[in-house]
Amino acid sequence: MGSSHAGHLRDPLRGCSEVGYTLTLVRGVSPSEVFRIVGAEPRDVCQGLNELIEAQQEFLEGYEEWPEAFLAGAFTAQGEGGDWTLALEFGGDLGTRPGLMEALSAGTRAVSHSSNGGKPMDFFHWYEEGELRTTFEWPADRTGSTPDELNGVMTEVGLNPSGDEDPDVDRKTAVLALTERLTGVRVTEELLARAEYQVGEVPEEPADEWQSMTIDVTDAYGEGTHIQLRRDQL
């Protein structure tokens, strides 16, 4: 399940911090099955992270406006209980869209971590058997059906579930350590750089599927709050 702290980890995606990314891990579901569940159109295979990033850039350059789809790359990694699919995307929402994560975690476990580009917004989601168990941006502001179940593990990896954060702890790295504890998959620069990614084009969520949206507001002191708006308020 990994070590009891985050000291052995570095952020393997720090070079992608400006564009943002979502990393999703699903136990016992193959990359092709993940793409089938999320309705993705299969595309070419990419050899390594750099090729995946180049494919994403070429994909975006093919549109004058932001496309109604995004690319995701997926490969099989060894973790707790066998094979896991690791899916990586830049600017998409595969790992944060509730409907997709509920479907991906049906009968199994799915964990995702997302970073919203250069902004200090990093989100963690743990789904089990189709249910959102724990999610948070700030460690002390958790929701889900079991928001406190991971408190002990969070403390071990350097995330304080009670409030004050340790200035010496890199929160993104600590979240990766938490992800490792839940999946047994150690996400490293080498793993991402050398993987063979199956690539899929994932459609964005149709406008008529969502009824509300949550806006995250973070002030200059790092304090965050959430505002939820219904569709009829926009």
pLDDT digits (tens, 9 = 90+) for 70-86: 999 999 999 999 999 99
What 8-state DSSP symbol labels residue 48?
A: S
pLDDT digits (tens, 9 = 90+) for 169-187: 888 889 999 999 999 999 9
Judge whether residue 15 has pLDDT over 80. Answer: no
Buried b (16+ CB within 10 A) or exposed e, 156-192: bbbbbbeeeeeeebbbbbbbbbbbbbbbbbbbeeeeb
> Which segment of 66-70, 109-113, 117-121 scores lowest on mean pLDDT?
117-121
Judge whether residue 39 has pLDDT over 50. Answer: yes
Chain mean pLDDT for the chain: 85
Judge whether residue 16 has pLDDT over 80. Answer: no
Judge whether residue 106 has pLDDT over 50. Answer: yes
| pLDDT at residue number 98 | 96
209 backbone dihedrals φ, ψ, rounded to 5°: -90, -20
Query: What's the rounded Cα separation, in Å, for the pair 19 and 50?
Result: 14
Judge whether residue 224 has pLDDT over 60. Answer: no
pTM for this predicted structure: 0.82
Closest CA to 40 of 230, 203, 159, 160: 203
Query: What's the rounded Cα separation, in Å, for the pair 78 and 81?
Result: 8
Q: How many other CB atoms are there within 10 angstroms of residue 130's CB atom?
A: 14
Judge whether residue 233 has pLDDT over 50. Answer: no
| pLDDT at residue number 217 | 54
Q: How many other CB atoms are there within 10 angstroms of residue 94's CB atom?
A: 26
**H/E element, 165:** none
Judge whether residue 54 has pLDDT over 50. Answer: yes
Q: Are 129 and 107 in contact (CB under 8 A)?
A: yes
Amino acid letter, 141: D
